[in-house]
Amino acid sequence: MEIIGANHPLADIWAKVQREERLTFEDGVRLMNSNDLASLGYMANYVREKKHGAKTFFNTNRHINPTNICQTLCDFCAFGVRMKDPKAYTMTMEEIEHRIDMITPDATEVHIVGGNNPSLKLEYYEDILRAVKRKRPDLHIKAFTGVEIDHFTRVNKLSVAEVLDRLIDAGLESMPGGGAEIFAEEPRSIICDHKTTAERWLEVHEYVHKRGLRTNCTMLYNHVETTEHRIDHMMRLRDLQDRTGGFQTFIPLSWHPDNTELIKKYPHLGWSTGYDDLRVIAVARLFFDNIDHIKTYWMQVGEAVAQTALWFGADDLDGNVVEEKIYHAAGSKNSQGMTKLDLVRLIREAGRQPVERDTLYNVVNTEFPETAVEINASNDVEELTVL
Ligand code: V47
């Protein structure tokens, strides 16, 4: 049955999708303004299945957030605090090492990000990377957003090249996609006025790609941005990807309002809907003809939306996470960690095929037991409640 017939308002875009023709800015805006979620999902799922069939990727990972002290203090964020705030923390090397010791043997990745703490020199971060590599040389280190790299250049009076040389030497292997937020000047100046500029974020990632490392990219939505701002953001990422090919996955992140300055200033804003979350995923899959993977971050959208997103263009769920702080500071009610078999169950229950990957999307495992029991036992996680 043809869902999108010749008279459908999106028929011309559907024809382009089938011909694998690049979508324009205007196409993106029309898709993002469409309320016909079923048709968006149908088209996005067509692309998703053409690229990946039923495969759904996840990894076995852990997060470490070494400090929440942040001099940037973005209005949208509830994680970063001032140095004198009672909630302020900076992990000692012993605390970091303890967290590394707690990482289960089957993990393949550690994801390290934190606040822009002006009192920490680059040596602190080099020590973290070296501690991971000393204790767990098998773990891939995905660490530091483009914003943190920019912050390190200013605090240490070094160039991006010098910072990267030192971090790579200490063990850095790839970078997550955070810090991009929304590139357009108008909403960016409202939600994160003092942050690294859009141009600088893109410049850092371009440099990292040219240095041979892969990174991810994100977009923060559901705040003060317009449809045009969303597509402008995606367009700038797509242009950079044309030049470097260094992005592995795009991760749309819906803004969580609790405990943020932004919700105090704009009380009419609120939580995203599953409806919009699915629309953004679907438009991303259709718009990014040059990024292989679209990730739905289960910890952020919740399990039910994440499962549905696997039919709306997403082919990746992220990983176990564990000890997530950024979204939980902003009111996330989702669990802070899932076992490997929980993820497998989630994917299978959605009618998709689970594939455990490493950070660079090499396949680690495709065979999993039928029940959660045995994995739960071997994957016990300490400190799930630490916030
Ligand atoms: O940069 C912060 C966002 C990002 C809030 O690359 C918020 O694999 C919503 O980038 N509401 C960090 N969002 C998380 C991130 C990420 C997560 C998982 C995987 C990967 C990857 C990257 O979270 C920040 C910001 O955009 N964020 N505060 C908030 N209140």
SS (H, E, C) 306-356: HHHHCCCCCCEEEECECCCCHHHHCCCCCCCECCHHHHHHHHHHCCCEEEE
- What are the extents of the domains in the chain? 10-358
User: Would the annotation count 192 as a binding residue?
Assistant: no
| Ligand 1 centroid distance, CA of 235 (Å) | 20
Going from the C-alpha of 140 to that of each of 67, 93, 108, 128, 137, the distances in angstroms are 21, 19, 6, 13, 8
Q: What is the pTM of this model?
A: 0.93
> What letters, b where the CB count within 10 A reaches 16 and e where it falls short, cover 1-22?
eeebeeeeebeebbebbeeeee
Give residue 298's pLDDT: 87
217 known ligand binder: no
pLDDT tens profile 125-180: 999 999 999 999 999 999 999 999 999 999 999 999 999 999 999 999 999 999 99
Measure the CA–CA gap between 220 and 236, rounded to whole angstroms: 14
Report pLDDT for 319: 79
| Cα–Cα distance, 31 to 13 (Å, whole number) | 9
Q: What is the pLDDT of residue 381?
A: 40
Return the pLDDT at 332.
74
Sheet order of strands, 55-59 included: 316-319, 55-59, 353-357, 363-365
Whole-angstrom distance, CA of residue 187 vs CA of residue 384: 34
DSSP character for 88? Answer: -
Chain center to CA of 250:
7
Q: What DSSP element (H or E) covers 191? A: helix 185-191
Structure confidence at residue 375 (pLDDT) = 42
Distance (Å, whole) CA 360 – CA 194: 32
Ligand 1 site residues, Cβ closer than 6 angstroms: 76-79, 145, 176-179, 181, 216, 218, 220, 251, 253, 255-256, 260, 297, 318, 326, 330
Tokens of 104: 């289960």
Query: H or E segment at 256?
Result: none
Q: Supply the pLDDT for residue 274.
A: 96
Structure confidence at residue 329 (pLDDT): 78
Cα dihedral across residues 100, 120, 170, 244: positive or negative: positive
Ligand 1 centroid to 173 CA: how many Å? 19
Q: Which residues of the chain have pLDDT under 70?
A: 1, 321-324, 336, 371-387
CATH 3.20.20.70 fits 10-358, yes or no: yes
Residue 77 annotated in ligand binding: yes
